[in-house]
Amino acid sequence: MGSISESKVSAGIGRRDLIRRSAALGLISVPTMSFLAACASSGGGEEDKAKAGKKTAKNPLAVNETAQLEFVLFDGGFGKEYAEDAVKIYETNFPKAKVKFSATQKIQSTLQPRFNQGTPPDLIDNSGAEQMDMGVLVGKKQLADLTPLLDAPSYDDPAKKVRDTLRPGIVEMGQFDGDPVWIMYYAYTVYGVWYSQKALDSLDAAYPETWDEMLAVCEKAKKKNIAGWTYAGKYPYYLPFSLYPMIGKVGGREVLDAIDNLEPNAWKHPAVKACFEAYYELYKKGYVLKGTPGLDHIQSQTAWAQGKALFIPNGSWVENESANVIPADFDLAVSAPTGIDSSDKMPFGTIWASGGEPFVVPAKAKNASGGMEQLRIMLSEASSKNFTAKVKSLTAFNGGTDGITLTPGLKSGVAALEKAGDNVVNPRMQDWYVQLQKEQIGVGGLGEMMAGRLTPAEAISKIQGYADAAAKDSSIKHYKHQ
């Protein structure tokens, strides 16, 4: 999600059904659930679709070599150069095809009318503040199943299918109800607590593993007029980037699964209460940078980069998005969230890592096979390396870092994933229930608590109420961990 949107996601590698969405998350305002209700209306028909081309070893998806391809990219923290470079490869491979490429931050307002008319583009990076609600798109059957892409020979090695070249969890993340894969998450994000190793060293402090240690480090910083924390106060759904994996660490994966499944009283679990109270302590003890509730993601990241606060919850896109304000000697690092104490269910190092930058091919795309072929090109080793080198983030392609000098944040993200091993969690709330995650859990619950307007108990009660309402709302498509 750069602007918080506008950046969204990425870096890392991980395990289990790592999640984003979200992936993609990053986002500013939230699409309403009704926004796509009309999208099921048609327009356009089968007769408008490009006829299939000839299937060959070099053209396994049988792309029509003369059909136009339209690709709309989210113009966020990763920029557009990586996509433009991949488009050039498509144009080289299909010289008779015209590619119409554009980038925008206004995905929903630009593309919703086209979904309504049945004339969507062929490939979309559905990310950012105006991300279209994935749950709604899937529920309305508006996306093409990407299984043909996953089962096609990979771009580099025809003996391997595309699916066999992807990081763990990427395929599962694109699923909502069983087998069809609706989304290809291209970036791979490490979420966690980001900081300057240089700043920590200057305090003669190590990254805190327990909450008592966290409070002690923040107290040390406060004595030097440095705040312990800041965050995107206007978009407090950034807080879960470190808070969700903390909840998983303290209470186990099943607590996060229950939250995702909208189970009754999931938010009232003791692990949730302990973590909310821990974060509230940061506010109560004055360890949060003054004015944080009024800051957006860019302003909070800038204050942090300027050394006004030690820690910020964020995703690995922050290295690229804040490149113009992070000092050369900052020594950017990311860590898994601090836990409560030795009674936590999962070890220190438990982290959230998952796919980001959700690419989709609309069901009514005129050139769906062209959209999938563009993704196949992007999932090659060369395109993956190009992305990583240019935007300081990993991709869904499992590799692609050989020969690249890793930037400090990216190097730290890879190390954090290695430390986590199998202890990677993947909350799905941000892609299953976009509005609930952003507006209600983030702004209405966590944001209010961290601004001191709700106690932890009040915030939990409010958020549980939002979750219960979503669970009972028959207009919302519901998903569950399989």
- Give the separation between CA 264 and CA 163, rounded to whole angstroms: 36
* Residue closest to 446 by CA, chosen among 162, 261, 229, 185: 229
- Find residue 72's DSSP bridge partners: 102, 124
pLDDT at 28: 30
**pLDDT > 90: percent of the chain:** 75
The secondary structure element, H or E, covering residue 270 is helix 270-284
Query: Per-residue pLDDT averaged across 62-76, rounded?
Result: 96
Q: What is the pLDDT of residues 380-431, one digit of tens each?
A: 999 999 999 998 889 999 887 888 888 999 999 989 988 998 899 989 998 7
Q: What is the phi/psi pair of residue 461, to 5°?
A: -60, -40
Query: Per-residue pLDDT averaged across 424-452, rounded?
Result: 92
Q: In CATH, which superfamily holds the domain spanning 191-352?
A: Periplasmic binding protein-like II (3.40.190.10)
- Give the separation between CA 160 and CA 158, rounded to whole angstroms: 5
pLDDT at 135: 82
Query: Per-residue pLDDT averaged across 180-205, rounded?
Result: 96
Q: Which residues of the chain are in CATH 3.40.190.10 domains?
A: 33-189+355-418, 191-352
Using alpha carbons, list the distances in angstroms from residue 176 to 91, 429, 440, 482: 33, 12, 22, 9
Instruction: Check whether 179 has a pLDDT greater than 90.
Output: no
Q: Name the H helices within 78-236.
A: 81-93, 107-117, 134-139, 147-151, 170-173, 197-202, 211-223
| First-last CA distance in the chain | 26
Per the CB < 8 A criterion, the answer to whether 332 and 321 are in contact is no
Q: What is the pLDDT of residues 266-294, one digit of tens each?
A: 999 999 999 999 999 999 999 999 999 99
Tallying the residues shown for the chain, one arrives at 482
Query: Per-residue pLDDT averaged across 226-253, rounded?
Result: 97
Calculate the average pLDDT of the chain. 89
- Give the separation between CA 397 and CA 242, rounded to whole angstroms: 25
pLDDT at 47: 55
Q: Cα 134 vs. chain centroid, distance in angstroms?
A: 13
- CATH number, domain 33-189+355-418, options 3.40.190.10, 3.40.50.150, 3.30.1490.20, 3.30.56.10: 3.40.190.10
Q: What is the phi/psi pair of residue 72, to 5°?
A: -115, 120
Per the CB < 8 A criterion, the answer to whether 151 and 161 are in contact is yes
pLDDT at 14: 32
Q: What is the pLDDT of residues 367-378, one digit of tens each?
A: 999 999 999 999
Q: What is the phi/psi pair of residue 357, to 5°?
A: 55, 80
